[in-house]
Amino acid sequence: MAKLELIATATFGLEAVVKREIQDLGYEIIRSEDAKITYIGNEEAIAKSNLWLRCADRVLLKMGEFRAETFTELFEQTKALPWEEWIPMDGKFVVNGTSVKSRLFSISDCQKIIKKAIVEKLKETYPVERFAETGPLYSIKMTLLKDVATITIDTSGAGLHKRGYRAADVAAPIKETLAAAMIKLSFWNPDRVLIDPFCGSGTIPIEAAMIGKNIAPGLSRKFVSETWPQIEPEVWKKARAEAFKAIRSDVELKIYGSDIDGKAVSASRVNAVQAGLSDDIVFRRQPFDKLDIQDDYSIIITNPPYGERIGEKKDIEQIYRDLNYKMSKNNTLSLYIITADKALEKALKFKKADRRRKLYNGRIETTYYQYYGERPPKE
């Protein structure tokens, strides 16, 4: 298989998590930058990355990178790339782009020039004057940053956060990739109790169950590159078979989700069924103040209401009072909480956060506060 340069894009703040995921798959990292990690792989890596990366947004095939200060440079260097190796004669290709701090700031003009350059290059290989574009989709992206153009093809299609299990939704759901990252950034493991007392549509408990049972997050969906003739169907078939074989069906999990909103709990149950995890998570309608945490060394991982989302100020203040009470009476309890509310840390008086991370929930800047309880004794 050919050696390829791939890029996994990521939400700001999750680059280190995505980098570890890529390394766990066995691929060599070339570069880690803001919102993207570049690595070496092959056609098999395209399949495995899309199936297994929990916290990345997309997997891109890097076609080339070059300096372009004029439209002529952009055209000629784009045309020089090996488009015929990827786009077949009937391939449908669209071009999108961004430009930041670059001389070529007109995105629409750049997109037209790149499209024209690709057409001219393909004409050298295929004996046609006009391409029908009735075949598989190749979504091409140009990123211009300080006059350096990076040209890629999207191998994912829909974003990797679309796992396929979210059949029912609620207001302000947390993104699946962010929920998975919150779990990976915690000290939770399948032997410990995990509780989300503000579970919404159940994303955090479901992502935890998928991690606990080692279920590849992309196993129940399709990817645009599965339609490409350049990647043999056997590659995808093998990658999926290996992913199914890797599932730890014998693992017993202790994961609980609750919410004061009955519709949210119903949505959570529907989504858990869709994910095939209804037997692994207990969802119940329950206000937070009535939640009785009996197991020592339990872990709360949650995305509670905050100002930009839902909930009145007095309700949020009551949540903080309840958190203070529950955390202060059990020093083995750990809390991992994401919020845009700057008042949270001051309101939680039982201790200062052991760690803080700036993360983004969609376009909302948030902080992921981590409060470590006592560790379980080593056996």
Domain with CATH 3.40.50.150 in the chain: 176-213+248-371
Strand 58-67 and strand 28-33: the pairing is unpaired
Find out if CATH 3.40.50.150 is the number for domain 176-213+248-371. Answer: yes
Of 350, 377, 282, residue with least CA distance to 369: 350
Q: Residue 309's pLDDT is what? A: 47
User: What global pTM score does this model have?
Assistant: 0.94
> Coil, strand, or helix at residue 44?
helix
**pLDDT of res. 169:** 82
Query: In which residue ranges of the chain is CATH 3.30.2130.30 found?
Result: 4-154
| Predicted pLDDT at 106 | 96
* Cβ count near 168 (within 10 Å): 17
d(CA 278, CA 210): 12
Q: Point out the residues of the chain with pLDDT beneath 70.
A: 1, 307-311, 379
Residue-level pLDDT at 304: 92
Inter-residue contact 218 to 239 (CB < 8 Å): no
Q: How far apart are CA 32 and CA 19, in angstroms?
A: 7
The residues pairing with 356 across neighbouring beta strands, listed in sequence order, are: 369
CA-based Rg of the chain, rounded to a whole angstrom?
Answer: 23
CATH number of 4-154: 3.30.2130.30
Task: Tokens 């300096």: give the residue.
Answer: 67
Helices 71-79 and 107-123: angle between axes, nearest 10 degrees: 30
CA distance 287 to 185: 26
